[in-house]
């Protein structure tokens, strides 16, 4: 029996995924979490085989959860579940971080079950659309983006900034000092040849790392 932990900040999404997996005779949903902090606690309690992890959550996001679990629970396999656009940069970086799979929230029951089984066996799984896009990009040799220059931590800070989070909020969520967060921030600016958070957000949107609603939400907050 494959034990599964579902992590998503939307109750309806968790309910839908649970119902999909409960129909599988070889799977058992041991728990659900609505945020990264709870997810880390439940992993310690239940030690699940596979985690279906939303990458975009308030608080500790899926990037940080994946990074921590790769070190603390390497036998627990992470599948990134996302509604973000399928751009080559994000799946590649998430897999480099330690995730074993990358699928969409809209995946059908058969695909989600297949992903869980394959990852549980120690194999990587990518949705067909993502795998196809990665293959096309590889053939066209167009996979390089400015964001390839960023470290995993810089990439995480970048995504948090483009969601409108302040330096103080980021430092609290990642247990880092404001000075350290600003250090990552200014190194990003230097690597990407930009000057401020607005240009960072525009660049991230240009390369498909965030969707336009994020930019609109950030502008509205300002």
* Distance between CA atoms of residues 84 and 4, nearest Å: 22
- Whether residue 211 is predicted with pLDDT greater than 90 in this model: the reply is no
Q: Provide the CATH number for the domain formed by 146-221 in this structure.
A: 1.10.10.10
Q: CATH 1.10.10.10 spans which residues of the chain? A: 146-221
- Whether residue 18 is predicted with pLDDT greater than 90 in this model: the reply is yes
* Distance between CA atoms of residues 81 and 220, nearest Å: 27
Q: CATH 3.40.50.2300 spans which residues of the chain? A: 2-139
- Whether residue 16 is predicted with pLDDT greater than 60 in this model: the reply is yes
Q: What is the pLDDT of residue 134?
A: 60
Kindly state the greatest CA–CA separation across the chain. Answer: 54
What pLDDT digit, counting tens, does each position of 111-152 carry?
A: 889 999 999 999 999 876 666 556 555 544 444 678 888 888
User: What predicted TM-score, i.e. pTM, was given to this entire model?
Assistant: 0.68
CATH 3.40.50.2300 fits 2-139, yes or no: yes
């Amino acid at each position: 029996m494959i034990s599964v932990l579902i992590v998503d900040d939307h109750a309806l999404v968790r309910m839908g995924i649970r119902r999909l997996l409960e129909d599988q005779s070889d799977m058992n949903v041991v728990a659900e979490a609505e945020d990264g902090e709870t997810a880390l606690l439940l992993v310690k309690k239940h030690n699940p085989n596979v985690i279906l992890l939303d990458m975009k959550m308030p608080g500790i996001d899926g990037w940080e959860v994946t990074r921590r679990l790769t070190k603390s629970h390497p036998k627990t396999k992470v599948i990134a579940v996302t509604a973000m656009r399928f751009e080559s940069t994000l799946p590649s970086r998430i897999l480099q971080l330690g995730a074993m799979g990358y699928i969409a929230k809209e995946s059908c029951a058969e695909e989600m079950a297949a992903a869980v089984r394959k990852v549980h066996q120690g194999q990587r799984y990518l949705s067909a659309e993502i795998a196809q896009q990665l293959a096309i990009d590889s053939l066209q040799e167009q996979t390089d983006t400015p964001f390839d220059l960023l470290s995993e931590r810089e990439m995480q800070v970048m995504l948090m900034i483009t969601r409108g989070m302040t330096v103080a909020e980021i430092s609290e969520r990642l247990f880092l000092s404001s000075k350290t967060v600003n250090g990552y921030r200014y190194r990003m600016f230097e690597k990407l040849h930009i000057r401020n958070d607005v240009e960072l957000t525009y660049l991230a949107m240009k390369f498909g790392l965030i969707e336009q609603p994020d930019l609109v939400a950030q502008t509205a907050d300002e």
